[in-house]
Amino acid sequence: MIKIAPSILSANFANIEKDIKTVENDTSCEYLHIDVMDGNFVPNISIGQPFIKSIRKITSMKFDVHLMVEKPERYIEDFKKCGADILTIHFESCVHLHRALEHIKSLGMKAGVTLNPSTPIEMLKPVLDLVDLVLVMSVNPGFGGQSFIESSIYKIEMLSKWKKEYGYNYIIEVDGGINEKTIKKAVDAGAELLVAGSAVFNEKGIKENVENLEKMCR
Ligand code: DX5
Ligand code: ZN
């Protein structure tokens, strides 16, 4: 079953409660994708722990937190305290990736690993038996509203193949440039959880946008 994870990066921060409630009450979405950017690992700054702590109080949706920060291992306990359900860290930002993923799991969160478009998917092989989720970045991380990078399809296909071949348990998630035109090919390649920011939070309306994306997968 295909699931959409709306990325609140494109939501209205001046009235975030309204957007989150609409996602929670008017769509079938279970996960809220939350992008944390530090202005170092990526060239943009977004939101951090206090914001997540605040929105934790207004929703019971699962928080899918995507950390785009240098040395994410410094913040694992913080994000647990904020209410993250899934904590995803970048291969490129973390020297002791295996240790960091084990730490995330030991605190009772789901551990996710992700990689930039220029990093080969094979680099993740040593941690695939450990993770609960693999996030394929289909844009260069840092901004919403960018175009889907086609070479991500191969990565999704490989993850899907390895999952079947070795019986891995990870969820295959894709993030960046997902819209009505691109969602089907990501799903056909094996994506199970689709992050969508600008394709969900726009003037057309959250409910209609999510329904349209879901329709495109059928
Ligand atoms: C980009 C973020 C994405 C972003 C996706 O660095 O990781 O989650 O919000 O935005 P869209 O769906 O607009 O490409
Ligand atoms: Zn993201």
Catalytic residue among 19, 26, 35, 188: 35
Q: Specify the higher pLDDT residue, 1 or 20.
A: 20
Q: Is this complex's ipTM strictly greater than 0.95?
A: yes
Q: How far is CA 165 from CA 54, 158, 159, in A?
A: 42, 10, 10
Cα torsion angle, 199, 63, 167, 93, sign: positive
Domain assignment of residue 104, given as a range = 3-217
Number of domains in the chain: 1
Catalytic residue among 19, 38, 132, 175: 175
Calculate how far, in angstroms, residue 5's C-alpha sits from the geometric centre of ligand 2: 10
Q: What is the per-residue pLDDT across 44-72, written as a single tens digit (0 to 9) for each? A: 999 999 999 999 999 999 999 999 999 99
CATH code, domain with 176: 3.20.20.70
Q: What's this model's pTM, rounded to 2 decimal places?
A: 0.98
Give me the mean pLDDT over the 7-36 stretch: 98
Burial (CB < 10 A; 0-12, 13-18, 19+), residue 164, is exposed
Give me the mean pLDDT over the 162-186 stretch: 98
Helix (H, G, I), strand (E, B) or coil at 90: strand
Helix (H, G, I), strand (E, B) or coil at 152: helix
User: Considering the chain, what is the average pLDDT of its residues?
Assistant: 98
Q: What is the per-residue pLDDT across 91-146, written as a single tens digit (0 to 9) for each? A: 999 999 999 999 999 999 999 999 999 999 999 999 999 999 999 999 999 999 99
What pLDDT was estimated at residue 218?
Answer: 81
Give me the mean pLDDT over the 1-25 stretch: 97
Reported as a pLDDT band with limits 50, 70 and 90, residue 202 is: very high
Nearest residue (by CA) to ligand 1, atom 10, is: 144
Give me the mean pLDDT over the 165-188 stretch: 98
What pLDDT was estimated at residue 175?
Answer: 99
Annotated binding site for a divalent metal cation: 33, 35, 66, 175
Say if ligand 1 is within 6 A of residue 193 CB: no
Whether the per-residue pLDDT at 1 is higher than 90: the answer is no
Reported as a pLDDT band with limits 50, 70 and 90, residue 32 is: very high
